[in-house]
A and B are shown apart, each in its own frame.
Chain A
């Protein structure tokens, strides 16, 4: 699969948390050629099923695996229309106000109804000549910044409503050494991992039923995954999300290297499955680092693990620099290795996979 062109296409899909419908449809079309059945649920989760293509070892029920990665993106919303027609903004997910000054955004104006009309805006920043000493030392807070639509105030008021969504912009670009940077790599890059895995699994023998869930509303509390995990009713879960790769300011032991996948280890992650996936990696020459997670993971694992009666879960991390900016940077080789790893691991899951799981 052409990872870069997928990332470029995925990152421009409109999908703030709770408003992922068009992204879901775009993704559904990507899974359809690779899977047996693809549906979209009421929360816009995309559920793509790959049926087992070989019988289980002892002829019993095939285990069912859910693989999860989220499609929603962090965004902003209009909270006030000022007298001059500039807009004050609020958060939808965790947008760092540091990335906002002089950023280009799209305001999805609903004044003429739906579908929303995209309007280009620029976030205003004060000129350096005009800053006081005190101002120079403080970051802007979101409340001090305005979106400039370049329109007369009346035109803004007739087109834009309070509550309209605002998305960040920024083309996905290829950098040196198979690296790429853009917006929404968190976590649409991990949906690329699922597509990569689906492509591999469609050519591999697997006794398990495999459901790829591209989930919604992760950035506001992993809500889509909760429903997806209930609906799919899996025996075990493999969640994929991005995690932090080191930058010069990183603290010790808070990052994983950029150039290889990692596996989460800690109370939320089923320790035997973690061991098993590490063995899969070792057998297949896949470099796999470990991320220590002493409590909540901040990923879909947090809700999937306690869906229904509880689902043994593992978390595969795709390392990424500059998370929640519009220049989230990743290594496409690490992405491919993530896909290879989860495909190999899923293909190994057969009847009896849960023997001695807790002992």
Chain B
């Protein structure tokens, strides 16, 4: 499945069904329905039996869900009030296009925009003040509250509208590269050589607290959890080196630690050695920030050894996330090389 289709699919945390359907279809076609399961929080768990029981059971995980917005009510003038699902900085929302609701064959999502007061009408204080989510609205052109609430009742999911677009030399911008990149690579790894049992977990609800990964890891009880993610690259312009976290285009990022987990030391060293030996572009995450499914997998049940491979991503959690195709390929290559050497 191509990355464009995955990124443009809608799937906010807890409402991942459009993406989930694509993954179910692809995995069932490959392994048959018996190998594919859905768990109690909507993650897709695909089990590939091993031939060598001495090999560790590995769970490869990537999350299906994306950050976005959820309608909560409408104003008298027909504007949709919303809340963020996942960590969205309200400053990236002004002057953006969104899609209200999920596409259905008979009823496409409604286009909408997020505006703000014109610069001409802002006071000096207003120009400085960040507009919080509570003061932003989605405008679908509705005439009044009744029309807006009929078309976008509370709970309607709202996704960013950003066509997947290659630009520059080998970069792409899109919504939801976090973590459709991981999903894409997980699907590419379905055939990867490994004699042990391999479980592919397409997890739900990462952006709201790594819920899916916790349940999935509990079910799978892996010896090793290998998480394919994206991570913030803060690397533009004259940002001090120590704050860059990682750099787009310089390879897959291996984390020794983030706010949710400390990588298993052995796996961390193995991963760097493998990358070096195989000549796979890689870098070490230079800043302790963020957190992901790695934390949930490490602590599930009796615990597991975990390691996270991340694709550097600029403007993460915004409508316009940016990754390098070469880093995406390096993530796949390193995961593949790691498994074949395990």
Contact = CB atoms under 8 A, between A and B. Distances in A.
Contact of A151 (B115, B169, B317): B169
Contacts of B121: 244, 250-251, 254
Contacts of B135: 248-249
A322 B79 CA distance: 13
A325 B140 CA distance: 16
A95 to B, nearest CB: 8
B117 A122 contact: no
A162 B139 CA distance: 37
A250 B137 CA distance: 14
Given A130-B245, A181-B113, A329-B115, A137 B130 contact: yes
B236 A148 contact: yes
B232 to A, nearest CB: 4
Size bracket, chain A contacts = 35 or more
A175 B290 contact: no
Contacts of A244: 118, 120-121
B77 A246 contact: yes
A175 B161 CA distance: 14
Interface string A324-343: 11111100000000000000
B316 interface: yes
Given A98-B94, A102-B318, A124 B130 contact: no
A280 to B, nearest CB: 27
Contacts of A137: 129-130
Contacts of B238: 82-83
Interface string A61-101: 00000000000000000000011101010000011101101
A120 B173 CA distance: 10
Given A150-B170, A155-B169, A127 B116 contact: no
Nearest to B165: A120
B291 to A, nearest CB: 8
A323 B120 contact: yes
Interface string B99-128: 000000000001111111111111000011
B211 interface: no
B315 interface: yes
Interface of B: 75, 77, 79, 87-89, 91-92, 94-97, 110-122, 127-131, 135, 137, 139-143, 147, 151, 162, 165, 167-171, 173, 232, 234-238, 243, 245, 287, 289-290, 314-320, 322, 324
A242 to B, nearest CB: 10
Contacts of B167: 119-122, 149-150
A84 B142 contact: no
B325 to A, nearest CB: 10
A139 B110 CA distance: 29
A282 interface: no
A323 B95 CA distance: 10
Contacts of B79: 247-248
Contacts of B96: 102, 327
A104 B122 CA distance: 24
Q: Name the residue in A119, A177, A322 with the highest tally of chain B Cβ atoms < 10 Å from its Cβ.
A: A322
B330 to A, nearest CB: 17
Given A84-B236, A130-B243, A327-B113, 11 more contacts: A102-B92, A102-B96, A122-B173, A127-B232, A137-B130, A171-B97, A176-B110, A177-B143, A247-B115, A322-B117, A327-B95
Contacts of A178: 141
Contact of A122 (B116, B129, B170, B314): B314
Interface of A: 82-84, 86, 88, 94-96, 98-99, 101-104, 119-122, 124-131, 136-140, 146, 148-152, 155, 170-171, 173-179, 181, 244, 246-251, 254, 298, 321-329
Given A138-B130, A246-B77, A327-B96, A125 B89 contact: yes
Contacts of A125: 89, 91-92, 315, 318
A298 B120 contact: yes
B151 A175 contact: no
Contacts of A102: 92, 96, 315, 318-320
A99 B89 contact: no
B142 A176 contact: yes
Contacts of B112: 175
A119 B171 CA distance: 13
A325 B130 contact: no
Nearest to B86: A128
Given A102-B318, A122-B322, A323 B118 contact: yes
11 contacts: A88-B237, A119-B168, A129-B87, A175-B140, A175-B141, A177-B142, A247-B116, A248-B77, A321-B115, A327-B115, A329-B115
Contacts of B243: 130
A88 B238 CA distance: 10
B93 to A, nearest CB: 9
B289 A104 contact: no
Contacts of B142: 176-177
List the 3 shortest-distance A-B pairs measured between CB atoms, nearest first: A150-B168, A322-B115, A175-B141
B173 A176 contact: no
B320 A82 contact: no
A130 B317 CA distance: 12
A324 B117 CA distance: 9
A238 B34 CA distance: 73
A127 B322 contact: no
A174 B319 CA distance: 20
B77 A139 contact: no
B110 to A, nearest CB: 7
Contact of A329 (B88, B122, B141, B170): B141
A104 B92 contact: no
Contacts of A130: 232, 234, 243, 245, 287, 289
A121 B120 CA distance: 26
B97 A327 contact: yes
A155 B127 CA distance: 35
Given A151-B168, A177-B142, A327-B97, A146 B92 contact: no
